[in-house]
Structure 1
Amino acid sequence: MKLAVFDCDGTLVDGQASICEAMEAAFTAFALRPPTRGAIRRAVGLSLPQAMRQLLPESTGEQQQALTDAYKEAFRTARSEGRLSQPLFPGIETALRTLNGAGWVLGVATGMSDRGLTHCLAANGIAELFVTLQTADRHPSKPHPAMLEEALFEAGALPGEAVMIGDTAYDMQMAVSVGTRAIGVDWGYHHPRELEAAGAEKVVETPAQLLEYLLA
């Protein structure tokens, strides 16, 4: 058994523009100055309430929930109006299909919602490749280990048979806490040095390099 669990946004797909636009719309809806796009990118990977807490530290739980709801509404509106952009990073589909063909079991562990992840994978034509999908709807925010532990359980894999692949320190910390391997990708939201400091055994520069490393 070989299980590869991927983060989604920043690892499989590039949703940066849509995330920033939805976050800006959410803050503007409450007459708040939107965070900088750099700050928004730093919060990607966390579940929405935790991201709001990071972006607006002085806010109450009630305010964080209101901002979360406004963000979700802005995201849904962008999707319904055809403005949502979540393309696969170049080379990702080839890497996924090659791993799948080589006998790897694939999963996703993401701070996205069930609905958002389902739409994203289906829109990119890769939904059928994954046997386990874990989201923020059913688990605490990364780096809490719950979603990765559930992915292992659903796939029938032991920690030593699995690898977590992601673009943020939260992904690496989650992997370390569960006892799986951790591989960082440098095309996402956190710097390679942060990924290494959080426990990444390797930070790859391209999906082709990731594939080569996993199959070696």
Structure 2
Amino acid sequence: MKKYILFDLDGTLTEPKEGITKSVQYALDSIGIHEPDLNNLIKFIGPPLEVSFKEYYGLNDADTKEAVKRYRERYKDVGIFENSIYDGVTDMLDALKKQGAGLALATSKPDIFAERIVDEYGMRPYLDVVAGGKINGSCVKADVIREAFEKLGIGEDDKKKVIMVGDREHDIIGANECGIESVGVYFGYAAPGELEAAGATYIVSSMGELKQLLLELSSEAQGEEGQR
């Protein structure tokens, strides 16, 4: 059923809380907003930074631009490595790869950061494609998914063979906009009911459940290919 699997990064494959929240705190402090409680900044994990700074702190365009600049100032050398890969991710990617699935990263995080994280945490051998947001361009999830399509050579007729995996509504909404199915994972940073409301095709609560589901879906796809 599914030949290609696209993965979000933060909250789906990796635990990014420390690096992201501390970098957001640093950015806010640089423009005169003091947020001592890092737990109040967890909501920044997932959505594009520009959207979050405007939505959660009411920043205007100029202050948003400065906040994003300051965030990346800290994140690029420090926050990026205040991170860890979730238990079971490598085993899952390895099993899917051995089964013949095409695997891609599709993250709103700028691709220059995503590439470094993929290398740092040993995911590079399993991924056929890394698609990410652009420092001075779009970080919208649907645009990132379309970039992954292009890199994988996925055409309109192939969309039924593709599934997006993510932990926030933006992943699910992006998948819906691109006409593909999705898996919402509740071991990341989604609020209760968020993924259902966004229209996720499947819902899982653990890495073990995700691995089992994806192996089943990709196994069906390989069976269909073999019958042709």
- TM, length-normalised to structure 1: 0.90
Shift of 1:134: 1.5
The 1:51–1:159 alpha-carbon spacing in structure 2 relative to 1, beyond 3 Å, is same
In the alignment, is the contact (CA less than 8 A) between 1:23 and 1:71 conserved in 2? Answer: yes
Task: Write the deviation string for residues 34-70 of structure 1: whole angstroms up to 9, x where unpaired.
Answer: 385444222322222222212222x221110100010
Match of 1:2 in 2: 3
Count of residue pairs brought into register by the alignment: 211
Match of 1:67 in 2: 67
Match of 2:22 in 1: 21
Q: 1:92 aligns with which of 72, 89, 94?
A: 89
In the alignment, is the contact (CA less than 8 A) between 1:183 and 1:202 conserved in 2? Answer: yes
Match of 2:210 in 1: 210
Letter in 2 for 1:142: V
Match of 2:143 in 1: 146
Match of 1:163 in 2: 163
In the alignment, is the contact (CA less than 8 A) between 1:23 and 1:34 conserved in 2? Answer: no
Match of 1:127 in 2: 124
Looking at structure 2, the residues matched to 150 and 27 of structure 1 have their Cα atoms a distance apart, in angstroms, of 31
Aligned-residue RMSD, C-alpha: 1.9
Structure 2: runs of 5 or more not aligned: 217-228
In the alignment, is the contact (CA less than 8 A) between 2:187 and 2:207 conserved in 1? Answer: no
Shift of 1:32: 1.0
Match of 2:224 in 1: none
Structure 1: runs of 5 or more not aligned: none
Shift of 1:215: 2.1
- TM, length-normalised to structure 2: 0.86
Larger Rg: 2
Shift of 1:212: 1.0
